[in-house]
């Protein structure tokens, strides 16, 4: 019994090690990630965020960029963002980009994924990231909002495209909880039944020949009707817009934007 | 009065053989039908001071009995004896299910059962510490139950549909009533004070196909007891036993509703017939860790009940094993679906 369990554990450990080794790859990334034209960040914040962005950019092989502007007359933030990307992409020879753009004058924020990130950070995941960062933006916490964008996006991008990364079934704590409950349930059942089980049922002593229904009534009494509106299924809240598009230079992207 | 069955061939004391269902002589192997056993070979010995003690016909020794004992062995010469005055009149059983599992089969069945104990300590599972096995006829009352149920309930049927941009949920209310004639046959309750009720309930069910009219020779060679509780006293136990059965039957007659709440439920049960019956039970006394554990085995079906010792290590091992494998499986599935392990 004991040796059998030890062997089993060893196999499990080997399997875990094998699986975790296979996802680490590092590639060079751009030098500059923060383009703070609106001067919303302090020097130290920029230095800090550059470090974070560089670290994650290398890990993911996707550059995380933060672009701020303060242009009251900008009609569409996506155009501004697209132009920036086209230029940046040629300069740095890098197509895989996650770009967080904000216009402090119009209070627009737009998060986009280019190249590889277009699939790994699709519109749904962009929306989920926005859900997390918009409150911080509303508080004026732009540095934290970008940091959150970088960490959360890279976490989401680990997951296979199309999968909801916040699905409870993928959470370790939930899996552990299910495993423990199931273990306790099964062992509890075994313990409960160790002294022998009751195997008589309602039909054991039932006399079908003399049991019968002698009177039935199923009388309609009244009815109630309740109405409610069909819930709108657009999911957008707080003035959402976008959902991807194409830049002037012809690169398609995933994305989503909000007012904050 | 003491009864012993003497072999027509050799005069030895015969006992009931569970394999053939006959009276069998341990000495010469002669087998006799219970129905046709010659009267002349039934030794009936009447003691004048029988209220106090019984004497063995063979050796004259005093037969040691408890007040409930109806069949036993002479503690001196081992001859199977029946105490007939405790089996006649009001105390005469109406029915009996004879043993179909012999002592050897019972030992084998018990060993097999201990072997299957997934949570019992290793030393216990070998099943070789049986201290004593006693074949015993336990007194039961079997009740034929007749009853009436009259229930009223408020039921709803819910369905919803969409029209335009509105969802309508329509709830229809119904008055439901059922009147039912109920009948349950031969519901058993053990009438022995000594026997644990829960244990005896778990021994059920017995196969009533082998229910026989009572004849004394079935008891020869086994222990038997008379009832401690009368059928009136035990009827409340029968009622609590069959009420869940009745409830589930009532539920099965009402179908097609989304919700159901009973507003009135009247159930009456009466006993139609009562049979004083003896059921075969092997009592197994098992020594483990300097403690005696008692188990009971259905002498007809071989089902074993009783609390075995539990190994904390095995409980922990099963728990960790199951939890770890479930966790691993979930992780593998999560990895296959999501592409991320942690």
pLDDT digits (tens, 9 = 90+) for A113-126: 999 899 899 889 99
pLDDT recorded at residue A221? 92
Q: What's the count of helices (H) and strands (E) in chain B, helices before strands?
A: 5, 17
CB within 8 Å of A258: residues ≥ 6 apart:
A108, A109, A130, A134, A238, A239, A240, A241
Taking contacts as CB-CB distances below 8 angstroms, the residues of chain B near A200 are 201, 204-205
Distance separating alpha carbons of residues B21 and B36, to the nearest angstrom: 13
| Residue spans of beta strands (DSSP E) within B164-236 | 166-190, 212-213, 223-225
Taking contacts as CB-CB distances below 8 angstroms, the residues of chain B near A198 are 201-202, 204
Residue of B nearest to A224 (CA): B171
Cα B196 off chain centre by: 11
The sign one gets for the Cα dihedral A68, A73, A75, A80 is: negative
Helix (H, G, I), strand (E, B) or coil at A125: helix
DSSP string, B113-172: HHHT-SSS-HHHHT---EEEEEEEEEEEEEEEEEEEEEEEEEEEEEEEEEETTEEEEEEE
Q: Which of residues 134-163 of B touch A (CB under 8 A)?
A: 145-146, 154-155, 162
Distance separating alpha carbons of residues B292 and B295, to the nearest angstrom: 10
pLDDT digits (tens, 9 = 90+) for B44-102: 776 655 555 788 888 888 887 888 888 998 888 888 888 888 888 888 899 999 999 99
Question: How near does any CA of chain B get to the CA of A254, in Å?
Answer: 20
Pairs of CB atoms within 8 A across A/B: 194
Least confident of A17-31, A171-185, B214-228: A17-31
Q: Which of B162, B334, B336 to mutate to test the interface with A (most CBs of A within 10 A)?
A: B334
| Binary contact (B166, A207; C-beta < 8 A) | no
Q: Which two tokens stand for residue B338?
A: 């999501």
Q: Which two tokens stand for residue B246?
A: 């009745």
Residue of A nearest to B330 (CA): A175
| Residue spans of beta strands (DSSP E) within A144-238 | 212-229
Name which residue leads in pLDDT, B327 or A162: B327
Question: Residue range A200-227: average pLDDT?
Answer: 92
Residue of A nearest to B256 (CA): A218
Q: Is B315 on the interface with A (CB under 8 A)?
A: yes
Taking contacts as CB-CB distances below 8 angstroms, the residues of chain A near B183 are 207, 209-211
| Binary contact (B201, A184; C-beta < 8 A) | no
Phi-psi region of B202 (alpha: psi -120 to 50; beta: other; left: phi over 0): alpha
Residue of A nearest to B327 (CA): A179
| Residue spans of beta strands (DSSP E) within chain A | 34-36, 63-69, 97-103, 108-114, 212-229, 245-246, 252-259
| Binary contact (A219, B315; C-beta < 8 A) | no
pLDDT of A26 > 50? The answer is no
Helix (H, G, I), strand (E, B) or coil at B212: strand
Cα B206 off chain centre by: 7
| Binary contact (A194, B306; C-beta < 8 A) | no
How far are the Cα atoms of A221, B221, B294 from residue B192, in angstroms, in the given order? 52, 20, 16
Q: Which of B144, B154, B184, B336 to mutate to test the interface with A (most CBs of A within 10 A)?
A: B184
Q: Which of A186, A196, A200, A228 to mutate to test the interface with B (most CBs of B within 10 A)?
A: A196
DSSP string, B261-311: EEEEEEEEEEEEEEEEEEEEEEEEEEEETTEEEEEEEETTT--EES-----
pLDDT digits (tens, 9 = 90+) for B20-48: 888 999 889 888 888 888 888 887 776 65
Q: Is B245 on the interface with A (CB under 8 A)?
A: yes
- How do strand A252-259 and strand A108-114 relate by DSSP bridges? antiparallel
- The mean pLDDT value of chain A amounts to 84
Q: Is B243 on the interface with A (CB under 8 A)?
A: no
Name which residue leads in pLDDT, B67 or A185: A185
| Binary contact (A219, B118; C-beta < 8 A) | no
Residue of B nearest to A213 (CA): B180
Q: Which two tokens stand for residue A78?
A: 């996506």
Do B296 and B304 meet the contact criterion of CB atoms below 8 Å apart?
A: yes
Predicted model pTM: 0.73
Closest CA to B77 of B12, B123, B33, B121: B12
Distance separating alpha carbons of residues A162 and A90, to the nearest angstrom: 29
Q: Which two tokens stand for residue B149?
A: 């149920």
Q: Is B7 on the interface with A (CB under 8 A)?
A: no
């Amino acid at each position: 019994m004991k040796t059998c369990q030890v062997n089993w554990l060893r196999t499990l450990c080997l399997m875990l090690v094998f699986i975790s080794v296979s996802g680490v790859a590092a590639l060079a990334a751009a030098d500059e990630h923060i383009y703070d034209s609106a001067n919303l960040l302090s020097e130290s914040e920029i230095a800090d965020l550059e470090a974070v962005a560089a670290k994650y950019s290398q890990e993911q092989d996707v550059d995380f960029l933060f672009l701020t502007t303060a242009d009251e007359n900008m009609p569409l933030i996506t155009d501004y963002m697209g132009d920036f990307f086209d230029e940046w992409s040629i300069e740095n020879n890098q197509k895989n980009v996650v770009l967080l753009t904000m216009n402090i004058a119009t209070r627009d924020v737009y998060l986009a994924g280019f190249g590889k990130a277009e699939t790994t950070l699709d519109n749904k995941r962009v929306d989920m990231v926005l859900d997390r960062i918009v409150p911080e933006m509303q508080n004026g916490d732009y540095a934290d909002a970008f940091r959150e964008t970088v960490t959360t996006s890279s976490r989401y991008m680990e997951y296979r495209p199309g999968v909801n990364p916040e699905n409870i079934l993928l959470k370790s704590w939930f899996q552990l909880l299910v495993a423990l409950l199931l273990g306790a349930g099964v062992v509890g059942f075994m313990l409960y039944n160790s002294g022998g089980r009751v195997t008589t049922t309602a039909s054991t002593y039932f006399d079908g020949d003399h049991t019968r229904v002698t009177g039935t009534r199923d009388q309609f009494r009244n009815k109630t009707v309740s109405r409610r509106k069909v819930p709108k299924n657009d999911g957008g809240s707080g003035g959402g817009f976008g959902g991807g598009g194409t830049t002037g230079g012809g690169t398609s992207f995933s994305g989503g934007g909000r007012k904050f | 009065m003491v009864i012993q069955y003497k072999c027509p061939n050799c005069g030895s004391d015969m006992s009931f053989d569970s394999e053939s269902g006959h009276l069998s002589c341990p000495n010469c192997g002669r087998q006799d039908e219970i129905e046709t056993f010659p009267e002349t070979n039934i030794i009936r010995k009447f003691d004048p001071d029988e209220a106090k003690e019984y004497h063995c016909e063979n050796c004259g020794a005093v037969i040691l009995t408890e007040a409930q004992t109806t069949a036993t062995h002479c503690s001196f010469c081992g001859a199977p004896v029946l105490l007939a005055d405790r089996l006649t009149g009001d105390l005469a059983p109406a029915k009996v299910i004879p043993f179909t599992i012999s002592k050897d089969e019972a030992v084998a069945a018990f060993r097999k059962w201990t072997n299957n104990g997934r949570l019992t300590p290793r030393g216990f599972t070998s099943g070789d510490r049986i201290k004593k096995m006693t074949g015993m006829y336990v007194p039961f009352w079997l009740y034929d139950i007749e009853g009436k149920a009259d229930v009223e309930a408020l039921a709803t049927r819910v369905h919803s549909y969409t029209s335009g941009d509105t969802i309508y949920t329509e709830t229809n209310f119904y008055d439901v009533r059922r009147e039912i004639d109920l009948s349950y046959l031969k519901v058993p309750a053990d009438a022995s004070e000594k026997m644990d009720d829960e244990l005896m309930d778990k021994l059920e069910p017995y196969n009533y196909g082998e229910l026989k009219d009572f004849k004394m020779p079935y008891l020869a060679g086994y222990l038997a007891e008379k009832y401690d509780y009368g059928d009136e006293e035990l009827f409340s136990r029968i009622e609590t036993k069959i009420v869940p059965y009745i409830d589930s039957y009532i539920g099965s007659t009402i179908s097609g509703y989304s919700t159901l709440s009973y507003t009135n439920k009247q159930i009456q049960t009466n006993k139609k017939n009562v049979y004083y019956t003896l059921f075969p039970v092997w009592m197994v006394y098992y020594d483990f860790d300097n403690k005696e554990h008692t188990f009971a085995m259905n002498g007809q079906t071989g089902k074993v009940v009783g609390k075995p010792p539990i190994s904390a290590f095995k409980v922990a091992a099963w728990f960790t094993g199951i939890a770890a494998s479930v966790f691993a499986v979930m992780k593998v599935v999560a990895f296959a679906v999501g592409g991320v392990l942690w």
